[in-house]
Chain A
């Protein structure tokens, strides 16, 4: 009987110890995922005080809590998307968990790269547009989103392209217009729109033609209005090179286009071949003789 009583007491002691131990051990419950902007609730159990740490590349938080209470984190505490680690420390015991804070699905901002900001007319796929999509907290929204791009030209024509974002990014290529001038390139995702102005400039000079006339001891060289192949006038300041070759002598001058034409004065040679070029585009040649 005495042995039985001893056994019974021992068993009871063990049972009570185990119960006490399990009753006091802290526990931590964390959601697997949460969405930025919403409340994140962490559950704890146990008794007594504890320190709760939430760390990640997007936040560092420490709170002194009472075990058994729920810990609520608002969007003001936690808003950067990413993986967060939770440590609960009480009486030398550490419990840990992890959860992901995911970006919200609502587009609040886009980064829009439109390149180039200046290109010649009539270039197929010459323009590119890339958008990265962010929520209100600056998190990249990786879920697919519908993106649309619209290029409005000076003559009212529009080009529209659509794309679905993948890993938060969408891109398109568009053609530049045949007519020079500023064009607006808009990108829209989820009601958020960004605009870039793209300057479409004249292409290489085309059918470059000059005339020559004598003026005293000089010859005046002047081009027709310098235009590209689509008829767009090349901008003032474009360099036109006049070359006058007479026997073993030569004269050249680089002249900027002004009000659409390039004009210069060179000495009147006895017999010369006069040529004109702009960049790598050659124009006409004039065989000039003293009799002209």
Chain B
């Protein structure tokens, strides 16, 4: 019964997240959520689960848009701290070289691994498949399919969870 309710809960979260993404018209990647029953040390409420996953996936979309359009200001909505600085600096370098990249996420396999005791950070591990396309002065250079493991740490702000650490940590 517990497993069923766990699976059911993950489905509810997944469904809610996908609905949100579809409703805002974004391309929908495939999202797999691992069971969140063992997340600790702080218990993770359903509302927080939904918010964190939703905001993390939105962050991917925003990152893609920022890199495609060479507009680092777009990152402000979903990134903060070191992640914002690093991504912003990369977009700045890219702009200087007249390059554009796009990072289209195709699938996510997300596992929340840590929710800090005071509730001020959540860490997740994401097995991501995405397509990267590179353009130089508008001409396509090439594209590659990437399958990498990402570690993200999100912290709560006034309006949403924002990504503070965003790092790919090797192959899956």
* Residues of chain A having any CB pair with chain B under 8 Å: 33, 51, 53, 55-62, 80-83, 85, 87, 89, 94, 96, 98, 100, 102-103, 113, 115-116, 128, 130, 132, 138-140, 142, 166-169, 171, 173
- A154 to B148 Cα, complex, angstroms: 49
Verify if B82 is at the interface (C-beta below 8 Å from A): yes
Task: Let me know if B141 and A57 touch, CB within 8 A.
Answer: no
Task: Let me know if B117 and A96 touch, CB within 8 A.
Answer: no
User: A83-B146, A87-B134, A94-B142 provided; 16 other pairs, C-beta below 8 A?
Assistant: A33-B170, A55-B134, A60-B99, A80-B86, A89-B142, A96-B142, A113-B118, A115-B118, A130-B118, A130-B120, A139-B167, A140-B153, A166-B114, A167-B151, A171-B116, A173-B117
Task: Let me know if B167 and A81 touch, CB within 8 A.
Answer: yes
Task: Let me know if B86 and A138 touch, CB within 8 A.
Answer: yes
Known interface pairs A132-B153, A167-B151; A113-B120 also in contact (CB < 8 Å): yes
What is the minimal beta-carbon distance from A244 to any residue of chain B, in angstroms?
A: 43
Q: Which 4 A-B pairs have the closest CB atoms?
A: A115-B118, A128-B117, A60-B94, A83-B168
Known interface pairs A96-B144, A167-B125; A60-B101 also in contact (CB < 8 Å): yes
Count of A-B residue pairs with CB < 8 Å: 120
Majority secondary structure of chain B interface residues (helix, strand, loop or mixed): strand
Task: Let me know if A57 and B169 touch, CB within 8 A.
Answer: no
Known interface pairs A138-B82, A167-B151; A115-B117 also in contact (CB < 8 Å): yes
Verify if B27 is at the interface (C-beta below 8 Å from A): no
Chain B residues 64-117 with CB under 8 Å of chain A are 67, 82, 86-87, 90-91, 93-94, 97, 99, 101, 103, 113-114, 116-117
What is the minimal beta-carbon distance from A189 to any residue of chain B, in angstroms?
A: 16
* A-B contact list, 16 entries, CB within 8 Å: A51-B136, A56-B90, A57-B166, A81-B169, A85-B132, A89-B141, A89-B142, A100-B168, A115-B118, A116-B118, A130-B116, A139-B167, A142-B169, A166-B114, A167-B114, A168-B165
Task: Let me know if B151 and A87 touch, CB within 8 A.
Answer: no
Query: Looking across the interface, which residue of chain A has its beta carbon closest to that of B114?
Result: A169
Task: Let me know if B93 and A98 touch, CB within 8 A.
Answer: no
Known interface pairs A53-B136, A83-B148, A169-B114; A115-B170 also in contact (CB < 8 Å): no
Please tell me which one of the listed residues A33, A53, A61, A132 contacts residue B165 in the complex, with CB atoms under 8 A apart.
Answer: A132
Majority secondary structure of chain A interface residues (helix, strand, loop or mixed): strand
Residue-wise, chain B 128-162 has the 8 Å CB interface mask toward A (1 for contact) of: 00001010100001101010100101000000000
Task: Let me know if B101 and A55 touch, CB within 8 A.
Answer: yes
Verify if B5 is at the interface (C-beta below 8 Å from A): no
Known interface pairs A100-B171, A168-B151; A60-B90 also in contact (CB < 8 Å): yes
- A53 to B148 Cα, complex, angstroms: 20
Verify if B62 is at the interface (C-beta below 8 Å from A): no
What residues on A are CB-neighbors of B67 within 8 Å? 57
Task: Let me know if A57 and B136 touch, CB within 8 A.
Answer: no
What residues on B are CB-neighbors of A60 within 8 Å? 90-91, 93-94, 97, 99, 101
